[in-house]
Amino acid sequence: MEKLLHIIATPRAQESRSLQVSKSFLEVFTKRYPECHVDELNVATEILPALTVKVVYGKYVLLGGGELSERFKHAWKPVIQHIERFLLADGYLITTPMWNFSIPYPLKQYIDIIIQPKYLFRYTDKGVEGLVKNKKMVVITSRGGDYSQTSPFHAYDFQEPYLRAIFGFVGITDITFINTQPMDALGIEVQRQKIEEAKALAQKIAEKF
Ligand SMILES: Cc1cc2nc3c(=O)[nH]c(=O)nc-3n(C[C@H](O)[C@H](O)[C@H](O)COP(=O)(O)O)c2cc1C
């Protein structure tokens, strides 16, 4: 692997539980791939392009099979830069908390920017075709509550199913989740224990990534 794109969606820096787990993943990963460049994009702290009228209109031009004319070029320049940065990676690490049962809004904004026809997917006679092929993804999340399969709140997890759906749509189907939970609901001891468990799992997954 030559390039890993690490997309971070928490603004909490050193306080972040999900980032602590990602750090453990990266410790093992960087030993395994010492030559690999880890490109870090924090969508929670960097300013992302807005989905302006011209960006949205341009999307419909592409959906109709057309090319972006001169009048879209300026608005689309930062969008295409993000798409190219995304496509340059051979693999992806997403570090994200759960916010209101789903993903934080800056991560949704990033997804709305990069998931574009012609670049990440296209429509064919046989249906939709994802254009991001043979790439792996690891998603490290943390949640205040517990949304695991045996929890009564499992059905409230719109984070993992959404991320699997949207990245599967563009062709990334090899996705491993490490969900660090519960972080707030059962106190500090459980929090510490669950972070340690998630770190150990992250290191194990990094060995095979
Ligand atoms: C705006 C906001 C919304 C949140 N919504 C949820 C939620 O729906 N369910 C949940 O279990 N925890 C929720 N939390 C708690 C975080 O998911 C939890 O504290 C997580 O560990 C934070 O990750 P981080 O430390 O990496 O930022 C929310 C936190 C914030 C700031």
Residue nearest to atom 31 of ligand 1 (CA): 99
Q: Give the domains, in start order, of the chain with CATH numbers.
A: 3-45+78-208 (3.40.50.360)
Distances (CA, A) of 194 to 147, 150, 152: 13, 16, 19
Alpha carbon of 126 to ligand 1 centroid (Å): 40
Residue 34, pLDDT score:
94
Residue 157, pLDDT score:
98
Q: What percent of the chain clears pLDDT 70, i.e. is strictly above it? A: 100
For 51-99, write each residue's pLDDT tens digit: 999 999 999 999 999 999 999 999 999 999 999 999 999 999 999 999 9
Joined together, the tokens standing for residue 44 give 């929670």
H or E, element range at 177: strand 174-180
Alpha carbon of 112 to ligand 1 centroid (Å): 22
- Strands, E, within 27-166: which ranges? 37-42, 91-97, 121-124, 127-130, 136-142
Residue nearest to atom 12 of ligand 1 (CA): 144
CB 92, CB 137: distance < 8 Å: yes
Mutate which of 98, 139, 157 for ligand 1 pocket (most atoms within 8 A of beta carbon): 98
Residue 21, pLDDT score:
98
CA dihedral 140, 146, 150, 154 (to 10 degrees): -80
Residue 141, pLDDT score:
98
Query: Which of 125, 131, 157 has its CA nearest to residue 144?
Result: 157
Residue 85, pLDDT score:
98
Mutate which of 12, 147, 183 for ligand 1 pocket (most atoms within 8 A of beta carbon): 183
* Residue ranges of the chain whose pLDDT lies below 70: none
Residue 13, pLDDT score:
95
